[in-house]
Amino acid sequence: MKLEIENDNIIELKSLFQEQKKAFEKDMYPSYKSRVEKLQALKSMIKKYRSKIEEALNADCGSRCH
């Protein structure tokens, strides 16, 4: 059972990596404006999900990482 879950996780990670690779190949050299927009979107997501990110870090590290 555990081995099955680990294999499923590996398959999922490989699939996600392939999606990221395709996205990068599609737009290898984004414009400055595009990069700024994506960074602003990332900043908004980090603010929106800050507590969930902190919870995940606490679960992984045992306490808040600094």
Q: Residue ranges of the domains in the chain? A: 1-30, 31-66
Return the pLDDT at 66: 58
DSSP secondary structure letter of residue 66: -
Return the pLDDT at 40: 98
Residues of the chain with pLDDT under 50: none
Q: Which amino acid is at 53?
A: I
Q: d(Cα 39, Cα 52) in Å, to the nearest integer?
A: 19
Q: How many other C-beta atoms are found inside a 10 Å radius of the C-beta of residue 56?
A: 11
Q: What is the pTM of this model?
A: 0.60
